[in-house]
Amino acid sequence: MTVTPRAHDLLWLDSNTPPQGITDPWVAEYWHCGLPVVVRRDTDPQGRIPVGIRGATRAQRAAGWVAPRRVVRVVTPEQLSRPAVLASSPYGQMAPLRAARQLAERPWPWQWGITGSVGYALATGAGVLHGDSDLDLTIRAPLPLSRALLETWQRLVSGLSCRADTQLETPAGAIALNEWLRDGRGLLKTCRGPRLVRSPWHVEE
């Protein structure tokens, strides 16, 4: 399938062959093609997709590369924030899912999604959640957004029943929304490393 992946997308591959560059022993024991890999932020002159594999524990993380032709299915963070997905989750009574449903009840003028362990659990059913799990969120912002509306989002997120963090994703990279709103600048994560910026839509030194 034709794939134009973005950071945090979940990809299912065509076989149990691990991504290139991954040799961690736990991967061979734990990972199989029924579990997705996660697109990470990097760049490759050969056109390979930068991906990571999540293991059973926080310490088990491995980074590698896959050819686009190996991808057979894609699930985006935005798909995981849909009310129907949240309502049907077996983890629905856990604090992160209750918090996500609160956000989904409001109309927002942007696309937003769920990443991290909550997104992975929603997509796979894997038992990686617990009552203290953080809710990791992303807002897609191809163009500058209203600061007032972003502040409204952040106030709501700050009052949720669990710890929640939002990354503002722009064509230049991703920045922690709370940090940027508070300080007027922050570290923008790009495919070529972090950059200190005032506008997350424009990379500056």
Q: Which of 14, 24, 42, 134 is catalytic?
A: 134
Show contacts of 142-151: CB within 8 Å, 24+ apart. Answer: 142/170, 142/171, 143/201, 144/199, 144/201, 145/109, 145/110, 146/109, 147/181, 149/108, 149/109, 150/177, 150/181, 151/181
Q: Is 165 part of the annotated catalytic residue set?
A: no
Catalytic residue among 44, 136, 165, 183: 136
* Phi-psi domain of 184 (left: phi exceeds 0; alpha: psi -120 through 50; beta: other): left
Annotated catalytic residue 42? no
- Just list the catalytic residues: 134, 136
